[in-house]
A and B are shown apart, each in its own frame.
Chain A
Amino acid sequence: MEDMRLMERTLATNQVKVAAKGVDVFYGATHAIKDVSVDILDNMVTAFIGPSGCGKSTFLRCLNRMNDTVSVARVTGDIRLDGEDIYDPRVDPVQLRARVGMVFQKPNPFPKSIYDNVAYGPKIHGLARSKAELDEIVEKEAKDRLKEPGTGLSGGQQQRLCIARAIATSPEVLLMDEPCSALDPIATAQVEELIDELRANFSVVIVTHSMQQAARVSQRTAFFHLGNLVEYGETGQIFTNPRDPRTESYISGRIG
Chain B
Amino acid sequence: MEGKLPSEQHILSAFDRDLEAIQALIMKMGGLVEAAIMDAAVSLETRDEELAERVRKEDRQIDELEELINQEAARVLALRSPAATDLRTVLSVLKISANLERIGDYAKNLGKRTSVLVQMAPVGDSGGALRRMARAVADLLKDALDSYAQRDAELALDVRMRDRDVDQMYNALFREFLTFMMEDPRNITACMHLHFIAKNLERMGDHVTAIAEQVVYVVTGSLPEDSRPKGDRTSYVAPEVEDD
Contact = CB atoms under 8 A, between A and B. Distances in A.
B87 to A, nearest CB: 6
Interface stretch (A61-69, A140-148, A244-252): A244-252
A253 B76 CA distance: 14
Contacts of A251: 83-84
A186 interface: no
A2 B221 CA distance: 12
A212 B82 CA distance: 10
Contacts of B86: 252
Interface string A232-256: 0000000111100101110111111
Contacts of B81: 212
Contacts of A29: none
A1 interface: yes
- Contact-size category for A: 10 to 19
A246 to B, nearest CB: 9
B110 to A, nearest CB: 38
Interface string B113-142: 000000000000000000000000000000
Looking at chain B's contact residues, the main secondary structure is: loop
Looking at chain A's contact residues, the main secondary structure is: helix
Interface residues of B, number: 20
B88 A248 contact: no
B79 interface: no
A1 B225 contact: yes
A211 interface: yes
Contacts of A255: 8-9, 11
B15 interface: yes
Contacts of B83: 211, 215, 239-240, 251-252
Given A212-B81, A240-B221, A241-B222, A249 B87 contact: no
Interface of A: 1-2, 211-212, 215, 239-242, 245, 247-249, 251-256
Given A241-B84, A242-B84, A253-B11, 9 more contacts: A239-B83, A241-B88, A248-B6, A251-B84, A252-B6, A252-B82, A252-B85, A255-B11, A256-B8
